[in-house]
Structure 1
């Protein structure tokens, strides 16, 4: 077994690379163009102050290690690298080419070099458990293990002052050495979260090839899963380097000390001595652990699929593409994956941008925001994304306030937003039809829609409305008022209102509590029945949303015929979600059973329901109580004294008269007059204030009202939490909306492949 190891920071020295740069002039020239400076001058002449800056050290080590690898006469069976050295290992295994690897390291070094206020210290003489005990027993919340180099040589990292102050604690626990390192950042700890986040956005544009040989991951201490290379290399910035465990795993697989070769700058070896100390102090992993891992991997691997010699390729289950390729092409996406809008900017600018950069579609959560706030969000998204990058804005129906729809259409047209997610519509409104009309063009006798509508709905009869042209009465009104031209009116009669239908099953927020197994087939049949009416228009796609938080759920709706996946609740518990950390902490601990149906603040008079988080919260019970009182009494004054006292002391925490004064301050004179004339309506307005307050308190993270938080959420999040338990994604602070989307897609493909193999085996 030949194992090549690549060292990380600390291996650099003036003069490194001598003889290599002359041997590979073309690659050196590529490196110089990429970096914008002479890599040979830096490595050979320094100065040392420049060479030891992280933004220069990391590219220098990568280039020297990569060239040294190319100079080797033999090729390895396995590769691994310590921290930044892992990128040289990626190059050696063919996962990245020379320039792509250098770009990754350059950006990584730049981001890590920006870190300030951090420190690191090498500890010798204590094992991992002893160091963990010191950290735990002394509540060292700003100190973390960064590198497990050998069983008794471990590096801690964290806030600079905390690292310096911790020396007596570790020495009193038995450490023989405690050496504070000359670094400015708390590398491989949560302090590097911003660097990790920025690096994830950058790495999305770098292509990784399938490695030609195993690469041991710093994060897992096991060979990389090729499907998760990108994810692991991003995670590596904040995760500890598990070097000792990597060596012990290799020893358990039969490696000997003589099999390890260090590939890097000439001079005293850096990582090779760690192999000897690990072999001496701990030896290989317990064979029982290795056997258990191998048994688990074998059980999880799909059985081989027999391929009939005469079967055409399309008839054989293989590497599944998730969703419709035509949908991706039509909407300009790399993945048939959509994140539905969540109101009041919970589907944030950051969320939409990350999804677009990853080739996915996100809708900004415009519901409940002012037109000015929506305009600012659109400008921010457009500033971050190149032209034609896919993104959309939520377009929520306002039955009682049509002027709000008109204002939104004006804004969307003015800003050039080309896609909306239409939700809560019971009919096609003039404002939505106008948005559709002004984006219609005719090319070679065919009508094309540049203003695209994805209709989110849960009833087949509403689907039929959106799968038909705009109603003639609506079109006539728009034409006669001059809102659209006669030509646009004629075109509206030749196209459906929607380009795609998202079938919303039981979900967070407003829900009809529908089941995907009945809704999706029914709406697919409606779609297929009307398709013949528009032979010259693009295909109309049907997606599935609601309840999708695991690969099994995603695979199920795809098998029902969904063209694309739509997630919602799981995205609310991510770094990018525009809600408070307090809410995210609550959501992170939610299970499938921790949701409840509560009255809708906007439409409780009609019996409308929303699905919300109930665990640890009083909101569902208090909302139900308000609706019960509304149905029982005809006015606020009629409420019995005990109930009124409970409302004022616990629910509103102020007199009902004071609540009315706050509500009244936002109403027009006409609305105030109506409320005073209709006591029941006045009661509804006052009660509705509680619902609005509960949403605002949650979004703001107002812990003084924590038990009253209104958090729209479906059981998909509970299922997701269970799925990712005991992984880094267990914490929302490690969840990025695009990364969990990619993970869900990859694992869904595996579920489908395994399921088809099993079914085919049963059939045989």
Structure 2
């Protein structure tokens, strides 16, 4: 089906969105060339100090993000899942602050993906960095107390329809579609043994099936009780009107009210993502430039696959310093 032509702002100016990835964004030493940038140093200092105040005893997030020899994602998520979450969040927020400072013309909105919604809320000013750290600590406690079965996420090169057909044919009712990321990138969530069965079948059909680094099956009903408890705690959180519109892959249109913004903060636990649908809607609304705020080109790759003809870039992909970010931004926005 043909996309509608993108609209523009008054005067013909096209919109730019800053995309905030989730847990796939962790990369050891990702900020080692940016650690002296004042905004980045402030993020690292605040995350470490707030984490220590909340009782964190693992390696400082600043070390995880400035030492290239820090634990790799698989090792870190097994040994220090909270550290993995905090490092992912801090990396995305820190990179986003640099991009927002350097981007000209300016960014018009933020878009979160999965737990990247917490980073998007922070970047937009709806919650503070200290709140984001506290929410991740609370979420970690809830996940540990839930005593969940072994479960995870699986990325495939199937369309959503093909994935649904495969799950029906294999009779795997506990495996759910967690994310419709691109026309041919669907992520599945469920118990490990059932994901293993999906992997065998998909590969036998010549399709790709890649386990993702994840402590559990996000975007799955398995986390319903955790979601309910997290939502109750979110009611007490102060939410500020965001300086930038906050979009998410779980709902249509931007989140505007405090209730909607709180919903965004918890959605990654149980709600499936429709990232491709969100991108198409944003294109129709005039967003033609999509900047990835992570140290990898995760969301820009998905946007490029789903939105031909639009501009996509990952200015903060490593290795990177300020000068290279400035050059990449100029190429994308100029």
Question: 1:39 aligned to 2:61?
Answer: yes
Question: Shift in Å at residue 146 of structure 1?
Answer: 0.9
Equivalent positions of 1:366-445 (< 5 A) are: none
Show the counterpart of 2:208. Answer: 177
Task: Return 5+ residue gaps in structure 1 as ranges.
Answer: 282-764
Show the counterpart of 2:154. Answer: 121
How far apart are the structure 1 equivalents of 2:44 and 2:266? 26
Question: Shift in Å at residue 178 of structure 1?
Answer: 1.4
Show the counterpart of 1:484. Answer: none
Question: Shift in Å at residue 261 of structure 1?
Answer: 0.9
How far apart are the structure 1 equivalents of 2:281 and 2:202? 28
Question: Shift in Å at residue 117 of structure 1?
Answer: 1.0
Show the counterpart of 1:703. Answer: none
Query: SS at the partner of 1:15?
Result: coil
Asked if structure 2 preserves the Cα contact closer than 8 Å seen for 1:123 and 1:175, the reply is: no
How far apart are the structure 2 equivalents of 1:276 and 1:28? 31
Cα deviation code 1:268-297 (max 9, x no counterpart):
41110101111249xxxxxxxxxxxxxxxx
Question: Shift in Å at residue 139 of structure 1?
Answer: 3.0
How far apart are the structure 1 equivalents of 2:91 and 2:181? 22
Equivalent positions of 1:282-321 (< 5 A) are: none
Show the counterpart of 1:263. Answer: 293
Question: Shift in Å at residue 35 of structure 1?
Answer: 1.0
Query: SS at the partner of 2:291?
Result: strand
Question: Shift in Å at residue 86 of structure 1?
Answer: 1.3
Asked if structure 1 preserves the Cα contact closer than 8 Å seen for 2:22 and 2:115, the reply is: yes
Asked if structure 2 preserves the Cα contact closer than 8 Å seen for 1:6 and 1:81, the reply is: yes
Task: Return 5+ residue gaps in structure 2 as ranges.
Answer: 1-14, 310-334
Question: Shift in Å at residue 118 of structure 1?
Answer: 0.5
Asked if structure 2 preserves the Cα contact closer than 8 Å seen for 1:218 and 1:236, the reply is: no
Cα deviation code 1:123-177 (max 9, x no counterpart):
11x21122122223443211001121111111101011111112344456x5621
Query: SS at the partner of 1:67?
Result: helix
Query: SS at the partner of 1:10?
Result: helix
Question: Shift in Å at residue 110 of structure 1?
Answer: 4.5
How far apart are the structure 2 equivalents of 1:88 and 1:231? 14
Equivalent positions of 1:429-578 (< 5 A) are: none
**What's the C-alpha RMSD, in Å, of the aligned pairs?**
2.4
> Which of 248, 251, 254 in structure 2 is aligned with 1:223?
254
Query: SS at the partner of 2:23?
Result: coil
Asked if structure 2 preserves the Cα contact closer than 8 Å seen for 1:164 and 1:180, the reply is: no
Asked if structure 1 preserves the Cα contact closer than 8 Å seen for 2:24 and 2:213, the reply is: no
Asked if structure 1 preserves the Cα contact closer than 8 Å seen for 2:245 and 2:256, the reply is: no
> Which of 69, 72, 85 in structure 2 is aligned with 1:58?
85
Cα distance change of structure 1 residues 188 and 88 upon mapping to structure 2, 3 Å threshold: same
Question: Shift in Å at residue 214 of structure 1?
Answer: 1.5
How far apart are the structure 2 equivalents of 1:205 and 1:35? 20
Show the counterpart of 2:328. Answer: none
How far apart are the structure 1 equivalents of 2:113 and 2:128? 19
Cα distance change of structure 1 residues 108 and 241 upon mapping to structure 2, 3 Å threshold: farther
The one of the two structures with greater contact order (alpha-carbon pairs below 8 A, sep at least 6) is 2
How far apart are the structure 2 equivalents of 1:119 and 1:27? 29
Cα deviation code 1:304-332 (max 9, x no counterpart):
xxxxxxxxxxxxxxxxxxxxxxxxxxxxx
Show the counterpart of 1:100. Answer: 131
Query: SS at the partner of 1:194?
Result: helix
Show the counterpart of 1:147. Answer: 179
> Which of 6, 9, 15 in structure 1 is aligned with 2:29?
15
Cα deviation code 1:359-408 (max 9, x no counterpart):
xxxxxxxxxxxxxxxxxxxxxxxxxxxxxxxxxxxxxxxxxxxxxxxxxx
Instruction: Report the TM-score when normalising by structure 1.
Output: 0.34
Asked if structure 1 preserves the Cα contact closer than 8 Å seen for 2:22 and 2:116, the reply is: yes
How far apart are the structure 1 equivalents of 2:226 and 2:306? 31
Equivalent positions of 1:200-279 (< 5 A) are: 200-226=231-257, 227-256=259-288, 259-265=289-295, 268-279=296-307
Cα deviation code 1:468-506 (max 9, x no counterpart):
xxxxxxxxxxxxxxxxxxxxxxxxxxxxxxxxxxxxxxx
> Which of 64, 85, 88 in structure 1 is aligned with 2:116?
85
Show the counterpart of 1:314. Answer: none
Cα distance change of structure 1 residues 198 and 170 upon mapping to structure 2, 3 Å threshold: same
Cα distance change of structure 1 residues 140 and 210 upon mapping to structure 2, 3 Å threshold: same
Query: SS at the partner of 2:132?
Result: helix
Asked if structure 2 preserves the Cα contact closer than 8 Å seen for 1:42 and 1:51, the reply is: no
Asked if structure 2 preserves the Cα contact closer than 8 Å seen for 1:81 and 1:89, the reply is: yes
Query: SS at the partner of 1:183?
Result: coil
Cα deviation code 1:64-98 (max 9, x no counterpart):
22222222323410111211211111112111112
Deviates more, 1:41-50 or 1:242-251: 41-50
* Max Rg structure: 1
Query: SS at the partner of 2:178?
Result: strand
How far apart are the structure 2 equivalents of 1:221 and 1:55? 30
Aligned length: 275
Instruction: Report the TM-score when normalising by structure 2.
Output: 0.75
Question: Shift in Å at residue 112 of structure 1?
Answer: 4.2
Query: SS at the partner of 1:103?
Result: helix
Asked if structure 2 preserves the Cα contact closer than 8 Å seen for 1:30 and 1:99, the reply is: yes
How far apart are the structure 2 equivalents of 1:20 and 1:224? 31
Cα deviation code 1:224-270 (max 9, x no counterpart):
142422134223311112211111111222333xx1111122xx411
How far apart are the structure 2 equivalents of 1:103 and 1:50? 20
Cα distance change of structure 1 residues 231 and 7 upon mapping to structure 2, 3 Å threshold: closer
Question: Shift in Å at residue 43 of structure 1?
Answer: 2.1
Cα deviation code 1:696-748 (max 9, x no counterpart):
xxxxxxxxxxxxxxxxxxxxxxxxxxxxxxxxxxxxxxxxxxxxxxxxxxxxx
Cα distance change of structure 1 residues 17 and 110 upon mapping to structure 2, 3 Å threshold: farther
